């Protein structure tokens, strides 16, 4: 008996989680894509194995007409394509109707990076503010400043992704996804595709780490392995990290919204400006393909163009 569509999707999501080890955020996006697919099939009274390429092309066009961006449509089609490919291996579908269907092309925006001055302003350690009168913990301000400063130093100084930073444990262990080697001045992280890499940790980050560790022990819950913890003593979440960076940017007087990946972009851009070594930047970022890293050469060119416009006599327009 052929499983019902919900059963198929549930089994496929379990395959993606256990066998492919996709990140929770990716699984959530794929689950949304499968809900859209189920809605389209229900509207046309189609079983999943009966879906044809012309159905998929029409549905993609509807998503585009509804205002969904090219990147989001591409993610949706990728999820559908993987589902039908899995169904084929399981003997539940004879064709993959998504093969050959592509999302509409859209302009690829350059990653946003801070200037060197802005990054330094954000990473400069600020004195802890007095705890609010109604704070449940009078020690909140000192540990909060130390933790946030350490996180910024690692994001900007080592180019870590948000998940890599939050996955760090205090020490290496059988269950640790990542950890910091204080003596070796290295961070061992688990990146995309469950690929491990080692990145250097600078002296400023090590100093910030020592300051944070002095306060973390009294804050972390018993048995908590996470390096970065919240006020409740448990591993910090991605939402909490984004909120803290947003507030830090405001406190530093930066004229732009700052998110974790912007610090990674800034790390790559500034390192490439200084060294010009694209391969080294690729290794430090953990990019599988050099083409992913090459986008930062465009940022580097923008920097050089600004310098040229400001300094070269031939770049100045006549009055």
Tell me which of 55, 216, 244, 264 is the catalytic residue.
Answer: 264
Both structure tokens of 82: 């993987």
Judge whether 11 counts as a catalytic residue: no
Angstrom distances, CA of residue 113 to CA of 240, 242, 249, 265, 296: 21, 16, 13, 5, 10
Tell me which of 55, 161, 244, 265 is the catalytic residue.
Answer: 161
Of residues 309, 289, 291, 313, the one with CA closest to residue 301 = 309
Tell me which of 30, 147, 216, 296 is the catalytic residue.
Answer: 296
Judge whether 192 counts as a catalytic residue: yes
Of residues 197, 186, 203, the one with CA closest to residue 285 = 197
Backbone angles phi, psi at 45, to 5 degrees: 55, 50
Both structure tokens of 162: 């948000």
Tell me which of 192, 197, 231, 242 is the catalytic residue.
Answer: 192
Judge whether 161 counts as a catalytic residue: yes
Question: From its phi and psi, is residue 223 left (phi > 0), alpha (psi between -120 and 50) or beta?
Answer: left
Instruction: Report the C-alpha gap between 258 and 176 in whole angstroms.
Output: 28
Judge whether 279 counts as a catalytic residue: no
The answer to whether the CB of 180 falls within 8 A of the CB of 191 is no
Judge whether 296 counts as a catalytic residue: yes
Q: Considering only the C-alpha atoms of the chain, give the largest distance between any 2 of them, rounded to a whole number of Å.
A: 80
Instruction: Report the C-alpha gap between 78 and 157 in whole angstroms.
Output: 33
Tell me the catalytic residues: 161, 192, 261, 264, 287, 296
């Amino acid at each position: 008996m052929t499983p019902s569509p919900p059963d198929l999707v549930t089994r496929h999501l379990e395959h993606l989680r256990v066998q492919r080890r996709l990140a929770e955020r990716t699984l959530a996006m794929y689950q949304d894509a499968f809900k859209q697919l189920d809605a389209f099939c229900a509207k046309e009274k189609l079983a999943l194995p009966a879906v044809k390429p012309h159905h998929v092309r029409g549905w993609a066009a509807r998503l585009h007409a509804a205002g969904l961006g090219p990147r989001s449509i591409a993610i949706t089609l990728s999820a559908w394509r993987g589902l039908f490919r899995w169904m084929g291996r399981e003997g539940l579908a004879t064709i993959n109707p998504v093969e050959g269907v592509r999302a509409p092309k859209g302009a690829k925006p350059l990653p946003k990076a801070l200037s060197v001055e802005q990054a330094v302003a954000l990473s400069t350690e600020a004195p802890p503010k007095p705890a609010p009168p109604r704070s449940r913990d009078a020690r909140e301000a000192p540990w909060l400043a130390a933790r946030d400063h350490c996180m910024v130093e690692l994001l900007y100084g080592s180019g870590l992704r948000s998940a890599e930073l939050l996955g760090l444990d205090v020490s290496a262990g059988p269950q640790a996804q990542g950890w910091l080697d204080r003596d070796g001045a290295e961070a061992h992280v688990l990146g995309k595709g469950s690929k491990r890499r080692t990145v250097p940790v600078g002296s400023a980050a090590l100093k910030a780490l020592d300051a944070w560790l002095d306060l973390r022990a009294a804050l972390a819950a018993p048995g908590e392995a996470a390096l970065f913890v919240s006020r409740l003593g448990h591993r910090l979440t991605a939402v909490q990290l984004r909120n803290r960076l947003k507030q830090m940017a405001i406190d530093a007087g930066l004229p732009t919204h700052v998110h974790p990946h912007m610090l990674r972009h800034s790390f790559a851009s500034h390192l490439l400006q200084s060294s010009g070594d694209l391969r080294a930047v690729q290794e430090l970022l953990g990019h599988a393909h050099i083409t992913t890293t090459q986008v930062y050469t465009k940022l580097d060119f923008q920097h050089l163009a600004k310098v040229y416009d400001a300094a070269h006599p031939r770049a100045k327009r006549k009055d």
